[in-house]
Amino acid sequence: MLNQIVLVGRLTRNITVNKSDKGNKVATIPLAIPRSFKNSDGTYDTDFIDCVAFDHIANNTSEYCEKGDIVGIKGRIQTRIIEDKEGQKETVMEIIAEKVTFLSSHTKEEKEADE
């Protein structure tokens, strides 16, 4: 059996790293991924997919990438059950980033040199 996903898209906002309840560093990587075909109106639709990264992957991505950069993500799909304040349970599906490749990002020094 195989649970693997590969996504390539553009960051829709800057990434911030937070701490989880268990003390792990966690970040949401928001991707915009245009589809490779046109819809019935003759335009390309875009999918907006949030991926979750932990610890050093979250740190490195937030440090070296910013809104508009293109990244590749290799990861897995994961489901978990969350419970709201009223006790209602909901199943959430997430993309867990296991590897992030910086395809068009620059280091901060390179960005400053470009300005």
Length of the chain counted residue by residue = 115
Fold of 5-36+44-108: OB fold (Dihydrolipoamide Acetyltransferase, E2P) (2.40.50)
46-93: pLDDT as tens digits: 999 999 999 999 999 999 999 999 999 999 999 999 888 888 999 999
Flag whether the pTM goes above 0.85.
Answer: no
Query: Which residue, 115, 109, 74, 95, is CA-closest to 27?
Result: 95
SS3 state at 103: coil
**Domains of the chain: which residue ranges?**
5-36+44-108
Instruction: Quote the pLDDT of residue 5.
Output: 97
Judge whether 68 and 74 are in contact, CB under 8 Å.
no
20-41: pLDDT as tens digits: 888 899 999 999 999 999 999 9
The residue whose two tokens read 């990264």 is: 53
Distance separating alpha carbons of residues 65 and 97, to the nearest angstrom: 15
The residue whose two tokens read 């993309």 is: 95
